[in-house]
Amino acid sequence: MLDTSLLETGRFFLLLSAELILLFIGISFLVGLLLEYVPLATIQRVMGQGKNWLAMNALGAGFGALTPFCSCSTIPILLGMLKGGVPFGAAMSFLVASPLLNPIIILMLLGLMGWQTTLMYVGMVFPAAILAGAAWERMGLAADIKDVGLKAIGQSGCHCAEVPLTRGPRFRKALRGALDIFRQVFPWLIAGAAIGALVHGVIPQTWIVHLAGEQNPLAIPVAAVIGIPMYIRASTILPISSVLLAQGMGLGVVMALVIGGAGASLPEVTLLSAIFKRRLIATFVVTVLLVAIVTGFVFSLV
């Protein structure tokens, strides 16, 4: 039995690692290629310094809601946004919204829990993403980004080169940039995949129900914390949450579990550790947990 469990955990780790590696390199390449063709002025005009913070952060959160990627795939896009001159607050609103409001999450919530629950979920999380970006910017957390894949671009850099490049060099440059970023975050990616696979293969669902059931007055904050190591992908956490709901776990507890896990999953946090300093990492995790807890209590009261 133990050997079977270890084999399944190892198989899951290999599959998850392969998926994350392919996604990370692929998304990094596509973002790099986009930055080779789209002028910096265009990015800044859409999500630039000229708009007020509410409009900028709403655009960032809206962009996050339109990206059908898992939590780990948001990191290359985040790097590209910061590299492309998108304001810090708007980029952070994207970071919070992308794993919590992406089409996969929304469509699965709609199918498993109905339109009323889904609409209420969006109504809670979308404003929270906007306000989180604004709060982090006011706190001066933009200084807590490490110089990883965010090196300054010269006057004739890839965004707005004075001499047009041919297609070949642009593709090669984007691929080199993607591989360079990947080499820097590879240890964090593997660490996150290993921890996630281990938790996935070891923690039984019955233990989760017992610890975060209705009888526990701290069930919602406990569920928010448990969701972080429990989450792997939306395609796994939401069906599990539906089962837990059917087994007697309250809807507020389930929402806290989903938000805590999807918003601050171990693979995402470990990847962010490669580009964020500790203060920003801590703020990110605490913010997601607060959103999860507040949303959970609102759901439990309605």
In the prediction, which pLDDT does 162 show? Answer: 36
In the prediction, which pLDDT does 128 show? Answer: 96
In the prediction, which pLDDT does 190 show? Answer: 79
In the prediction, which pLDDT does 236 show? Answer: 59
Whether 189 contacts 21, CB under 8 Å: yes
In the prediction, which pLDDT does 123 show? Answer: 94
Task: Give DSSP secondary structure letters for 217-280.
Answer: TTHHHHHHHHHHHH-S-HHHHHHHHHHHHHTT--HHHHHHHHHHHHHS-HHHHHHHTTTB-HHH
In the prediction, which pLDDT does 121 show? Answer: 94
In the prediction, which pLDDT does 153 show? Answer: 31
Please report, for residues 47, 73, 93, 168, 206, the alpha-carbon distance to residue 280 in angstroms, rounded to integers and kept in the order given: 22, 19, 14, 38, 34
In the prediction, which pLDDT does 114 show? Answer: 83
Instruction: Provide the domain count of the chain.
Output: 1
In the prediction, which pLDDT does 287 show? Answer: 96
For the chain, the first-to-last Cα distance in angstroms comes to 44
Spatial CA neighbour of 198 closest among 16, 13, 17, 7: 13
- Note down the domain range covering 170: 2-301
Dist CA 143 CA 149 (whole Å):
15
In the prediction, which pLDDT does 158 show? Answer: 33
In the prediction, which pLDDT does 294 show? Answer: 95
In the prediction, which pLDDT does 170 show? Answer: 78
Q: Give, for all 302 residues of the chain, the pLDDT tens digit.
A: 456 677 877 887 888 778 778 877 877 787 677 767 765 456 556 666 556 888 889 988 988 887 655 555 677 778 878 877 788 999 999 999 988 987 767 877 887 778 898 999 999 999 999 999 999 999 999 999 887 654 433 333 333 333 344 556 778 887 887 788 778 778 767 776 776 677 666 666 567 666 666 667 788 998 888 888 776 566 556 666 766 676 667 788 889 988 998 888 887 888 888 889 999 999 999 999 999 999 999 998 87
Whether 263 contacts 226, CB under 8 Å: no
> Which residues is 186 bridged to in the sheet?
none
In the prediction, which pLDDT does 107 show? Answer: 73
In the prediction, which pLDDT does 140 show? Answer: 93
In the prediction, which pLDDT does 69 show? Answer: 57
